[in-house]
Chains A and B, each alone.
Chain A
Amino acid sequence: MIHTAVVVALIVVGVFFLTVGTIGLLRLPNVYNRMHATSKPTTLGTAAIFLAGFVHFGPGERG
């Protein structure tokens, strides 16, 4: 129960950051603003989705 809730919360956080980064990539005016916008999902969004995978699989025999 708590396991599922933690995994779903981390997935929601990761997908939120990926969405914000893509909106910034589409709407900001020049190259440097777009690089600034896409550096956030690279660190925060993907890290949150990887943490969801770590919570789901655990430090066991796989993963």
Chain B
Amino acid sequence: MTEATPAVLETAINGALILVSGLCVLCGYRVIRGPTNPDRVVALDAIATNVVAIAVLFALLTDRGLFITVSLVLAIIGFIATVAVAKFVTDGEVIE
């Protein structure tokens, strides 16, 4: 967005953002139509990975280093959520 970002880099980041957003929609197909619950857990983990990549690309596009921190926190929360859902699938409850 700023004048320090060259046009080639801005075009590449915009294309990557559009592509990764489309990949999130395609993962949503597996979340909705997944045959079993572990399929949905795996698909939600993939969506969390894509959202982390979107945050880093947004930080590159707007030249704001704060969004790198946002992406790291999203990665940590995605890991915790995946562990909680996996424990729910195997045990039937999260905290006994």
Hey, which bits of chain A sit against chain B, CB under 8 A?
4, 7-8, 11-12, 14-15, 18-19, 21-22, 25-26, 31, 34-35, 38, 41-42, 45-46, 49-50, 52-53, 56-57, 62-63
Count of A-B contacts with CB under 8 A? 87
Hey, which bits of chain B sit against chain A, CB under 8 A?
6, 8-9, 12-13, 16, 19-20, 23, 26-27, 29-30, 36, 38-39, 42-43, 45-46, 49-50, 52-53, 56-57, 59-60, 65, 68, 71, 75
Distance to closest chain A CB from B25 (angstroms)? 10
**B42 partner, pick from A38, A57, A63, beta carbons under 8 A:** A38
Whether A4 and B8, one on each chain, are in contact in the complex, defined by CB atoms closer than 8 angstroms, is yes
The interface residues of chain A, by DSSP majority, are classed as helix
The interface residues of chain B, by DSSP majority, are classed as helix
Cα distance, A4 to B13, chains bound together (Å) = 11
Whether A45 and B60, one on each chain, are in contact in the complex, defined by CB atoms closer than 8 angstroms, is no
